[in-house]
Amino acid sequence: MFELSGLVQWIYKIIAGISTSLGLPEIILDVILIALMAGAIIAFLMLMALFLIWWERKVAAHIQDRLGPMMTGWHGWAQTIADALKLLQKEDIVVANADRKVHYWAPVVAFSICFAVYAVIPFGKGLIAADVNIGILYILAITTFTTISLLMAGWGSNNKYALLGGMRSASQIISYEVPLTLSILGVVLMAGTLSMGKFVELQGPYFWKWYIWPQFLGFCIYVVASTAELNRTPFDIPEAEQELVAGFNIEYSGMKFAMFFLAEFLNMFTVGAVTTTLFLGGWNPPFPALAFVPSWAWFLGKSLFIVFVIMWFKWTYPRLRVDHLLGFAWKVLLPLAFLNLILTAVGVTIF
C-alpha cells in the first residue's frame, strides 16, 4: 500500500518523458537519474545518522538508568541537530607540521565510503540503486577503505596517539576482515550468487527460509567481526580513551570531527543493512500475511534491530586488550568461520 517503488517508477516515467520530449541523449537521462538516486540516498542517510546518534545516546542513558538528552524537543530529539550546528561553527584547526593534504582528505574518504556502499543495498521492493551481480563483493571491497581513511587520519595528524590509533585500527580491521569474509562466503555458497537483490529474492517471505537458521554460526561471526570492523566496544582499541586520548581523530575539530563521527554511525547502519540482506531476509516480511506492512519498513526495522544489538554490546562489555583482540580473531573466529564454511560446503553438496 505504501510501497515506494511505485513512486520511484512514477518519477522515472516523468523524467524519461521530459528527456525524450526534449530530445536529450540517453546519457543525460542516466546522469540525472543517478544524481537523483544518490541525492535521495544521501538525504536518507544523513537523517539516519542524526537519528542513530540520538538513539545511541538514549540507549546508553537508559541502560545506565539515566534519561539522556531531554532539553531539545520531545525527549531531546533535536539534540544531534543542535550538536551538528555547534560543530559547524567551530574553528577548523590543523596542527603544525601536519601532513595537510592527508589530514584534509581523511574525513572526506571516511565519509564518502560509507555512502558508496548504499548503491547496492536493497532498501525495499524495487528500491535498489544498482543491482550489480557482484554486490556483496563490492561492499566488502568498499568497506575495507575505512582502514585507509583511519590510517590517513592517524598519519596526517602529526600526533603519536593518532598514529597509534590508526595503526591499531589497520591491524584490527585487516585481521577481522578474514573471518568476516569467510562468514559471508557461507551465505554465498548457499545462495549461489553475489547479487544483493538475489539474496533477498531467494530467502522469500518465510522466516524459516532465511539464512540465519542454516548459517547461525556465520551470522554470529559476521556480527562480531563487523563490530570489530566498526571500531566499537568491545573492540574499540583504535579509540581507547584511556590509552590513546581519542585515537585517530584526536587532532580533528569542528566539521571534520563530525564527519568521522557521522561516518562511524553510518557504517553501523551499513552493518545492519548488510546483515539484514544476507541473513534476515532483507525487506521480506516473516510471513506472507504480514505483507501489508511496506517492504522498506521491514528493512528499516530489521536493520535498526541489528544496530540496537551493536549499541547494546557497546554499553555492556568492557574493552579487549590488543593482544586478546587479535588472538580472538585468529584463534577463535577464524577456525569457527572455516568450520562454518566447510559445513556449508558439505551441506550444499549433499542437499
Partner 1 sequence: MGYFRSFFSGIYNLLLGLQTTAKYLPERAVTLQYPKEKWPMPERSRGVVVLLSDPETGELNCTACLLCQKACPVAAITITQAKDPAANKRYPKTFEIDNTICCFCGLCEEACNFDAIKLTGKYEFATFDKKSLIYDKEKLQELGRDVKYERKRKAPPKKPVAKTETGAENPAKDNPPKGEEKL
Q: Does 28 bind partner 1 (CB under 8 A)?
A: no
Phi-psi region at 65: left, alpha or beta (left = phi > 0; alpha = psi -120 to 50):
left
64 binds partner 1 (CB under 8 A): yes
Minimum gap (Å) between residue 322 Cβ and partner 1: 19
Interface residue with partner 1, options 67, 88, 293, 342 (CB under 8 A) = 67
The dihedral over CA atoms of 343, 140, 273, 85, expressed in degrees to the nearest 10, equals 150
Q: What is the distance, to the nearest Å, from the Cα of residue 155 to the centroid of all Cα atoms in its chain?
A: 24
Q: Which of 123, 74, 83, 105 is nearest to 269 (CA)?
A: 123
Peptide bond into 234 cis (omega under 30): yes
Q: Closest CB to partner 1 among 40 and 61?
A: 61
- Total of residues contacting partner 1 (CB under 8 A): 15
Q: How far is the CB of 135 from partner 1 (least distance, A)?
A: 31
Sole window of 35-43, 63-71, 184-192, 339-347 interacting with partner 1 (rule: CB under 8 A): 63-71
- Cβ closer to partner 1: 266 or 325? 325
Should residue 62 be labelled a site residue for partner 1 when binding is judged by CB under 8 A?
yes
Of 127-135, 179-187, 284-292, 312-320, the segment contacting partner 1 by CB under 8 A is 312-320
Which are the contacts of 231, defined by CB distance < 8 A and separation ≥ 6?
Answer: 150, 169, 172, 173, 237, 238, 239, 247, 264
Residue from the set 22, 27, 65, 289 that interacts with partner 1 by CB under 8 A: 65
Pick the closer one to partner 1 by CB: 68 or 286. Answer: 68
* Part of the chain binding partner 1 (CB under 8 A), chosen from 37-45, 62-70, 114-122, 259-267: 62-70
C-beta separation of 275 from 196 below 8 A? no
For the CB of residue 264, give the shortest distance to partner 1 in the complex, in Å. 21
Q: Any contact of residue 213 with partner 1 (CB under 8 A)? A: no
Q: How far apart (Å, rounded) are the C-alpha atoms in residues 80 and 152?
A: 27
Q: Closest by alpha carbon to 325, among 237, 227, 244?
A: 237
Closest CB to partner 1 among 159 and 215? 215
Per CB under 8 A, the segment of 24-32, 112-120, 125-133, 309-317 that binds partner 1 is 309-317
Bridge partners of 124, per DSSP, are 127
Q: Write the CA distances from 100 to 44, 252, 260, 285, integer angstroms.
A: 31, 12, 17, 49
User: Which 313-332 residues touch partner 1, going by CB under 8 A?
Assistant: 313, 315-317, 332
Cα–Cα distance list, 58 to 51, 220, 312 (Å): 10, 25, 11
Stretch that binds partner 1, among 58-66, 122-130, 241-249, 340-348 (CB under 8 A): 58-66
Nearer to partner 1, 25 or 318 (CB): 318
Task: Provide, rounded to whole angstroms, the least separation between the CB of residue 141 and partner 1.
Answer: 31
Q: Any bridge partners for residue 127, and if so which?
A: 124
**136 and 194 in contact (C-beta within 8 Å)?**
yes
Find the binder of partner 1 among 11, 61, 116, 217 (CB under 8 A): 61
Taking CB under 8 A as the criterion, which residues in 70-109 touch partner 1?
Answer: 70
Which distant-in-sequence residues (6+ apart) come within 8 Å of 66 by Cβ?
none
* Residue selected from 2, 10, 305, 312 as contacting partner 1 according to rule CB under 8 A: 312
Q: Which residues bind partner 1 (CB under 8 A)?
A: 59, 61-67, 70, 312-313, 315-317, 332
